[in-house]
Amino acid sequence: MLVLKHVSYTPEGNGPTDPILADANLVLEEGRLYVITGPNGGGKSTLARLIMGIYRANSGQIILDGEDITDLSVDERARLGIGYAFQQPPRFKGLTVGRLLRLAGGSRLGESEISSLLLRVGLCPRDYVDREIDSTLSGGELKRIELASILARDLKVAVFDEPEAGIDLWSFRRLAQTFGELHEQSNATIVIISHQERILELADDIILVADGRVETPRSKDEVLAVIRDEEACRCSLPTEEGIEEHVGYFRQH
């Protein structure tokens, strides 16, 4: 179980600025799939990066299975079982796809496991194992490899930052299926940042993040009903500007 208590984050910079995330409180249980959604710039990726330790909270606590991990580094959190699929994965000149997956999955990963990981993300193993993760790969290919690098690991908490961005429509169905299978087969806490209804449909709970505020997770049915019916949403949602903006955004896309 991952718990965030009163977590706030303001980037270091020139003078006082509003926090990107203010007083976030969350309880993420194992075996559940959460989808975080909300308008761009609302703080979703910041929340994910705070969980991975890429950003450090200015205040508050992050607790994994009873252990306070607030002051732990990225790699220390990774070794405790937290994983994060980057929204824009970096490219590496000279590092092959196979090597990255072995780094992710450890020595237990044999050739056949690497092949099946690549197949799970829709890449032909023969064409990709020895490919370098450089600028010859398209954005979509890079995102699939990123996804495979998370699937390679045995995680307690897996966070995916807009995994659908750059993935074509046909592959998108396959992507949703992959998340469904992962949820079914593992007891990990799965957190997916997404704007896509097909991904939202997979959620046990949906978390709205807007304007630096993190809402309490609510059941998928409740949130989807609200989002699908603008009238209903106006009545039942709090009237904060951020949430309204989110609903407007969601209807447009």
Partner 1 sequence: MSDTLGSIDRRLLDEIASLHSIPQGAHNIRKNGKGISRNSTANIEITPKADKPGIDVVIRPGTVNESVHIPVILSESGLTDVVYNTFEVGERSDVLIVAGCGIHNSGLSDSRHDGVHEFIVRKGAHMRYVEKHYGEGQGRRILNPVTVVHIEENASAELELVQIRGVDSTDRETRISLAKGARIVITERLLTSGDQVAESRITIDLNGEDSTAQVISRSVAKDRSQQVFYFTLNGRNRCRGHVQCDSIVMDQSHVQSIPEVGAYHSEAQLIHEAAIGRIAGEQLLKLMSLGLTEEEAEATILEGFLA
Contacts with partner 1, residue ranges (CB under 8 A): 52, 54, 73-75, 78-79, 83-84, 86, 88-90, 92-96, 99, 103-104, 132, 149, 153
Q: Which is nearer to partner 1, 104 or 210 (CB)?
A: 104
Identify which of 189, 193, 180, 190 has the alpha carbon closest to the alpha carbon of residue 86. 193
Query: At a CB cut-off of 8 Å and minimum separation 6, what does 221 contact?
Result: none
Helix (H, G, I), strand (E, B) or coil at 210: strand
Give least dist CB 104 to partner 1, A: 5
How far does CA 89 lie from the centroid of its chain? Answer: 13
Q: Which is nearer to partner 1, 30 or 132 (CB)?
A: 132
Give least dist CB 72 to partner 1, A: 11
Give least dist CB 91 to partner 1, A: 8
What are the E-state strand segments in the chain? 2-9, 21-28, 33-37, 59-64, 67-68, 82-85, 92-96, 132-133, 157-161, 189-193, 205-210, 213-214, 218-219
Q: Which is nearer to partner 1, 93 or 253 (CB)?
A: 93
Identify whether the C-beta of residue 105 lies closer than 8 Å to the C-beta of residue 153: yes
For the CA atoms of 251, 26, 48, 131, what is the dihedral angle to 10 degrees? -100
Q: Which conformational region is residue 148 in: left (phi greater than 0), alpha (psi within -120 to 50 degrees), or beta?
A: alpha
Q: Which is nearer to partner 1, 142 or 227 (CB)?
A: 142
Give least dist CB 52 to partner 1, A: 6
Identify which of 229, 232, 205 has the alpha carbon closest to the alpha carbon of residue 216. 205
The one-letter code for the residue type at 164 is E
Identify which of 28, 31, 24, 12 has the alpha carbon closest to the alpha carbon of residue 61. 24
Q: Which is nearer to partner 1, 73 or 216 (CB)?
A: 73
Q: Which is nearer to partner 1, 11 or 238 (CB)?
A: 11
Map tokens 């975080």 to a residue.
Answer: 36
Give least dist CB 245 to partner 1, A: 29
Q: Which is nearer to partner 1, 74 or 237 (CB)?
A: 74
